[in-house]
Amino acid sequence: MKVALFVHCFFPDHFYGTETYTLELARNLMALGHQVTVVSAVFQGEPPRETLVSRYVHDGVPVIVIDKNKLPHRNIRETYWQEEMRRSLRQILRELECDVVHVTHLVNHTAVLLEEAKALGLPVVATLTDFFGFCYTNKLESADGALCAGPNRLRTNCLACHIKAAGASAPGTPMQRIAARPWLLRAAAVGIRTAYAAHVMPWSTSHAMAADIVDRPDILFKAYRHYDAMIAPTTFLRDAYVRNRFDPTRLHLSRFGVDIDRSPKRARAEGQPLVIGFIGQLAPHKGVDLLLKAAAKLPAHSLRIKIYGPETQDPAYMTQLRELAGPHTEFLGTFPPDRMASLMATFDVLAIPSTWYENSPLVLLYALATHTPVLVSDVQGLMEFIDDGQTGWSFRRGDLADLTAVLGRLVGNPHAVRAAGARTAYDRDIRAMTKDVVDVYHQVIEKHSRERAANLDSGTGPTAHRHMNVKRFRDGIRGDFDAWLEFNLDGAFESPESLEYVAPFPPRELMQNVSGLVDPRDFAKHGCDILRALHEASPTALSEYTDILDFGVGVGRLARMFKGTRGRYTGVDVDQRHIAWVSSALDYVSGVATVPHQPLPFADKRFDCVIAISVFTHMNEQDQFLYLAEIARVARPGAMVFLTVHGERALQRAETETSILKMLSVPRNTIERTRHLFATPGFNFIQQKSGPVTSEAYEYGITFTGKDYVAREWSKYFDVVQICPGAIHDFQDIVVLKAR
């Protein structure tokens, strides 16, 4: 089978646990006859590549790498959901034509990868190597140093972690002083959360920052539903995801395997000092400072400490470690992977004094496999691999006195250390691990195959289509909703015959005039995105509405998606060209040209559903009131009305993202004024000198409408059911109204 392995970074520049797991899995899959490509990234700030996407081969493994210097994240949200990555990821997935997508870390690719893979109908598997899916820092360590269970309801613990990190990067500032005091840190986090909820943040960037942190767990939880299976290497990691709402039926426990020389450890000569080794990142969460402090309390002649790790990762922390190191400590840098066994042979004990939970670090497994007992923090991601006192020893996490005491006992009893080494082993190898992974691949591929086979329509339909069949999508909007979306996103473009099953596309000129898009695939995706957002906002299936008014139909970006509707579909627009095209091309749409500032040409109480996408986002207040009244007139009592607005989320992005400001084509000072007006009255119309429908009779601009304003003013015409923030493209809100 063809497998695409997505990892945040890769060899030769990055060589820690997740990268090693990815490389070894790729090698073993290839040895079994599978075709494997690793898709990685260059972190922004690292030496750039010549092109956005480049290729190389490492140890026989093909690698595609995306340079994030060219698509950098500009805010916190883009560290976990970056729309600009979408096009590159889609192109790579289409190029690879893989049978399964396997993600070993989402950092750099972000969760849009999962949405793109889902849109292409691909099975998606994850190996969970940390707590990225729900933890802001990925480590489940609270800002005060305690272990954490996950985000609380208001996300104040996540905000506290952000404040702590911000303080660490700003020495000598008030932020650092706040971060240094746990009680002040908690108070600041609660204060930010309260101000955010009340929309009274002192700076617009602060408000956007808070939103990005508060929204993170829910956005990722929703995105992780696209995983068909998630592999957890420890019971603790699996249980942590389950406790944080993730589906236990998709979580598979499968231990990591290691390939290393498992020869018995040679006995050390009597009277030699105890050798304690450390291999890993030289960063605060690894707890090396604690190890050095404990060693300093013991006689210098009784032990030696060998530390292997990159000394440039955290220069400030490295300086601290050198100050703590005694004459018995050596800093030995990094080493090639093939030296792991020989280095382990020089250790009596491997220390892993981490302050975070850990999650089956490979260095732990290498130690056990080479009969090297371990000294570990008593965190679950480590403890489930040792028999305390038999194959290793534990101390209370972060407790210097306890670590010193345990270390002292080991120094004083070398025979116990040697006996523990004889009992220590780890037999699971990479071949066994790979077999488990392949079994998971087969399960998810078979599941997808069963779902497709269950809907086959014998002898009909475009045989070239890989993921769909006529029975599931021939009924359009009134059939299988997800199948209809998937077919419009991908299947319709697989052959000329497939295109016959979707609505026609407008000419390029009209498409670009309305949406700025020129590629039918992109136009189709926009329509699918809008339809799905409406589907999630509507209390009734969209196919159940019997008389729909598309207010501002344009050239059918949404109307195309309603092919197959049983009811009447009426589209109105002030642009005669748009109406001429939809009337001639979409036979189920009744196109009606309207005149600005005139009543809609329909009887009272006719429609049971009214939709207006990107219309009230461009109206001045007087026009909004006029058309709210007209829609209220033509809507039946109980009819559902879906209108989009630029709300809080759109304003946040306009404040913090240059590309959004450029798209809106408004001066930055008008956005600053909008933030000021959002508190009261909650509305701002920024008139533009030109626009698609600007005329003497109709002003066109960019309109921002706050939720309090909607509740106050729009409730004069309708019952306000809900507001779905950022429902369309993480930008426009959908306001859901009910006619009286």
User: For residue 543, what is the DSSP state?
Assistant: G
Cα 280 → chain centroid: 26
At 659 the pLDDT is: 83
Burial (CB count <10 Å: 0-12, 13-18, 19+), residue 695 = exposed
Beta strands in 409-516 (DSSP E): none
CB 174 within 8 A of CB 141: no
Q: Which residue has the higher pLDDT, 451 or 740?
A: 740
CB 613 within 8 A of CB 552: yes
| Higher local confidence (pLDDT), 176 or 537 | 537
Residue 424: CB partners within 8 Å, gap ≥ 6? 367, 368, 371, 372, 373, 374, 391, 392
Per-residue pLDDT reduced to its tens digit, 630-681: 999 999 999 999 999 999 999 999 998 888 888 899 999 999 999 999 988 9
Once rounded to an integer, what is the mean pLDDT over residues 590-594?
Answer: 94
**What is the largest distance, in Å, between two alpha-carbon atoms of the chain?**
100
Q: pLDDT tier at 459 (50, 70, 90 boundaries)? A: very low
- Range 4-29 average pLDDT: 95
Instruction: Kindly indicate the confidence band of residue 497, based on its pLDDT and cuts at 50, 70 and 90.
Output: confident
Q: Does 508-738 match 2-127 at the fold level?
A: yes
What's the CA gap between 506 and 577, in Å, rounded? 11
Burial (Cβ within 10 Å: 0-12, 13-18, ≥19) of residue 690: exposed
Instruction: Report residue 98 CA to chain centroid gap.
Output: 21
> In 3D, which of 158, 147, 151 has the Cα closest to residue 380?
147
CA angle at 726 for the pair 724 and 730, rounded to the nearest 5° = 150
Are the beta carbons of 102 and 114 closer than 8 angstroms?
no
Per-residue model confidence (pLDDT) at position 697:
53
Segment 266-283 mean pLDDT: 91
Q: Other CB atoms closer than 10 Å to residue 45's CB: what's the count?
A: 9
- β-pairing, 61-67 vs 100-103, is unpaired
C-alpha to C-alpha distance for 88 and 86, rounded to whole angstroms: 6
User: Contact at 8 Å (CB) between 328 and 303?
Assistant: yes
Average pLDDT over residues 209-228: 92
Distances (CA, A) of 294 to 303, 320, 372, 392, 405: 11, 15, 20, 18, 8
Q: What pLDDT, on a 0 to 100 scale, did the predictor assign at position 453?
A: 63
Average pLDDT value for residue range 270-279: 93
Q: How far apart are CA 236 and CA 150, in angstroms?
A: 13
Alpha helices in 275-330 (DSSP H): 288-296, 315-324
Look at residue 594 and tell me whether its pLDDT is greater than 80.
yes
**pLDDT band, very low/low/confident/very high, at 463 (cuts 50, 70, 90):** very low
pLDDT at 724: 94
Distance of CA 330 to the CA centre of its chain: 40
Please return the burial class of 177, using the count of CB atoms within 10 Å of its CB with bins 0-12, 13-18 and 19+.
Answer: exposed
Helical H segments across 69-225, by residue range? 86-96, 112-119, 156-168, 174-179, 182-197, 204-223
Residue 723 and residue 533: Cα distance in Å, rounded?
A: 12
Tell me the per-residue pLDDT of 41-54, one tens digit each, with 9 for 90 and over.
999 999 999 999 99
Poorest-pLDDT segment among 313-322, 446-455, 500-509: 446-455
Tell me the chain's radius of gyration from C-alpha atoms: 30
pLDDT average, residue stretch 98-127: 95
Residue 381, classed as helix, strand or coil, is helix
Confidence band, pLDDT 50/70/90 cuts, at residue 408: very high
Average pLDDT for the chain:
90
pLDDT at 465 over 50: no
Please, what is the Cα angle at 394 between 388 and 400, to 5 degrees? 160
- Give the N- to C-terminal CA distance of the chain in Å, as an integer: 57
CB contact at 8 A, 278 and 292: no
Q: Which neighbouring-strand residues pair with 589? A: 569
How many residues can be counted in the chain?
A: 740
pLDDT of the residue at 205: 53
Burial class, 117, CB count within 10 angstroms (exposed 0-12 / middle 13-18 / buried 19+): buried
pLDDT value at 394 more than 70: yes
**Check whether domain 274-423 has CATH 3.40.50.2000, yes or no:** yes
What's the whole-number mean pLDDT along residues 136-152?
Answer: 90
Q: How many CB atoms lie within 10 A of CB 248?
A: 10
Please name which of 199, 188, 235 lies closest in space to residue 382, comparing C-alpha atoms. 235
Percent of the chain at pLDDT > 70 equals 93
pLDDT at 694: 44
Query: Positive or negative CA dihedral for 674, 675, 677, 682?
Result: positive
Alpha helices (H) along 543-685: 576-585, 621-634, 648-656, 658-664, 668-679
Contact yes or no for 591/580 (Cβ under 8 A): yes
pTM score, whole prediction: 0.66
Please say if the pLDDT value at position 194 is more than 80: no
Amino acid letter, residue 511: M
Which of 493, 456, 494 shows the shortest CA–CA distance to 472? 456
Task: Tell me what pLDDT residue 501 has.
Answer: 85
CB of 559 closer than 8 Å to CB of 523: no
Within 10 angstroms of residue 301's Cβ, the number of other Cβ atoms is 9
Quick one: tokens of 184?
């002040």
Domain boundaries, the chain: 2-127, 156-218, 274-423, 463-497, 508-738
Token look-up 């604690």 returns 290
Res. 389: pLDDT tops 80: yes
Between strands 719-728 and 701-705, the pairing is: unpaired
* Model confidence pLDDT, tens digit, residues 595-623: 988 999 999 999 999 999 999 999 999 99
- Residue 689 in this model has a pLDDT that exceeds 90: no
By DSSP bridging, strand 53-58 and strand 61-67 are: antiparallel
CATH class of 508-738: alpha beta
Cβ pair 263, 340 in contact under 8 A: no
More confident: 394 or 493 = 394
Strand partners for 38: 5, 63
Task: Report pLDDT digits (tens) over 327-374.
Answer: 999 999 999 989 999 999 999 999 999 998 888 899 999 999 999 999
Q: Name the token pair of 206.
A: 């602060």
How many angstroms separate the CA atoms of 445 and 50, rounded? 37
pLDDT bin (cut points 50, 70, 90) of residue 119 is: confident
Yes or no: domain 2-127 corresponds to CATH 3.10.20.310: no
Q: Are 142 and 160 in contact (CB under 8 A)?
A: yes
- Confirm if 703 and 684 have CB atoms less than 8 A apart: yes
Nearest to 227 by CA among 6, 498, 450, 457: 6
